[in-house]
């Protein structure tokens, strides 16, 4: 594609393709990590394990989501994250990340 398209301008079909592609990247990372762990403890400076979420939470000061690895089947991520205490509605210290696979593939 020659011109940059923001996520908001994508069609539903393009979005679905994006999520499928992202899920494949995440799956490939998991497989690669499993391959290495089968033989050794991965060196701690190898930061390409896991697919942390790069979304920011939708309230000031917009902290990073904090989810460390995507879990799910292509839909919203089910990994529990710790949310800052927001007062109302924050009785539970964790909630699902809820972000899409495409938000977990940036490095």
Our CB check for Zn ion shows the closer of 58 and 89 to be: 58
- Which one of 22, 23, 53, 105 is in contact with Zn ion (CB under 5 A)? 53
61 cis-preceded (ω within 30 degrees of 0): yes
Residue 77 sits in the site that holds Zn ion (CB under 5 A) = yes
What is the residue whose two structure tokens read 């904090």?
A: 66
Residue 67 sits in the site that holds Zn ion (CB under 5 A) = yes
Phi first, then psi: give them for residue 20, nearest 5 degrees.
-65, -40
Instruction: List Cβ neighbours of 60 (8 Å cut-off, separation of 6 or more).
Output: none
Q: d(Cα 17, Cα 34) in Å, to the nearest integer?
A: 26
Residue 55 sits in the site that holds Zn ion (CB under 5 A) = yes
Residue 26 sits in the site that holds Zn ion (CB under 5 A) = no
Q: Which stretch binds Zn ion (CB under 5 A): 17-25, 41-49, 53-61, 84-92?
A: 53-61
The residues pairing with 82 across neighbouring beta strands, listed in sequence order, are 94
Residue 22 sits in the site that holds Zn ion (CB under 5 A) = no
Q: Which stretch binds Zn ion (CB under 5 A): 3-11, 15-23, 26-34, 60-68?
A: 60-68
């Amino acid at each position: 594609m020659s011109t940059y398209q923001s996520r908001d301008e994508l069609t539903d079909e393009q979005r679905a393709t994006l999520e499928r592609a992202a899920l494949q990247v995440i799956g490939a990372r998991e497989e690669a990590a499993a391959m290495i762990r089968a033989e050794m403890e991965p060196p701690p400076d190898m930061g390409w394990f896991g697919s942390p979420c790069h979304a920011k939470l939708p309230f000031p000061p917009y902290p990073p989501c904090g989810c460390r690895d995507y879990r799910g089947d292509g839909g919203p991520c089910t990994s529990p994250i710790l949310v800052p205490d927001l007062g109302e509605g924050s009785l539970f210290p964790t909630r699902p990340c809820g972000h899409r696979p495409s938000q977990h593939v940036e490095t």
